[in-house]
Amino acid sequence: MALHAAWRPLCNLQRSLSRRQYQHAGVGVGGAAAGGDGAAGGEQEQLGAVLLLRRHMAFVVDNLHYYLQVDVIDAAFSKLRAAVLEDSADFESVVAAHAEFLTVVSAQCFLHQRVITQAIHMLLESALAFCAAAQTTLASSASFFIPEVSRTATAFESQVQFLFKVLHGAKVQQSAPHLARLLLRLDYSAYYSSRIPS
């Protein structure tokens, strides 16, 4: 995944900035620092914001991926497989089990709920834009990358909050267990639910 591919250059840049800050610090009498590289320190702080955004994106994207793959597709496929492998399974029961599999997967993957699907797509596009910016500019210039990161961070945060509100509203209306599982994955610490006005 692109977020994981962007991890190594970010970590390499963080190490090089830390090394540069240490080398320029100088050591005075008794081991006291004679001076510092303020630019490297500022870049280090900016890179910390970049890494924090990357971790937040990875958390959201990984949990969406896990929900879709494990909670929805794998669980539905296990039921389909059990129905097909039954000794008494005839062709009609297999067709019915397959139709149920498709219905469950399409419903729990939100394929027919356009607002949720668009919210997920916008969120993933922000993550991909972050990765593209990281891969093309971060290795050569951290300062050029920082304004892009702050815009991406703001957009991503608002998109995650919008997705959470939409999912929370759908859960209230439908009282569906699959929505509760996804919301728990995304909000186990009540970070987003505490921001929703009651």
Q: Which are the contacts of 8, defined by CB distance < 8 A and separation ≥ 6?
A: none
Integer Cα distance of 27 and 180 in angstroms: 56
Instruction: Provide the pLDDT for residue 98.
Output: 93
- Taking only the tens of pLDDT, the chain with its 198 residues reads 565 665 566 666 666 656 655 555 554 444 444 444 555 556 667 777 777 888 888 889 899 999 999 999 999 999 999 988 887 778 898 899 999 999 999 999 999 989 999 999 999 888 888 877 776 665 555 555 667 777 888 888 888 889 888 888 887 667 678 888 888 888 888 777 776 665
Q: What was the pLDDT predicted at 133?
A: 75
pTM for the model stands at 0.75
Closest CA to 40 of 71, 56, 13, 17: 17
| Contacts (Cβ under 8 Å, ≥6 apart) of 24 | 35, 36, 37, 40
Provide DSSP, 91-108: HHHHHHHHHHHHHHHHHH
Please report the pLDDT score of residue 15 as a whole number.
66
How many Å separate Cα 17 from the centre of its chain?
26
Could you tell me the residue ranges of all domains in the chain?
49-195
Q: Are 85 and 132 in contact (CB under 8 A)?
A: no
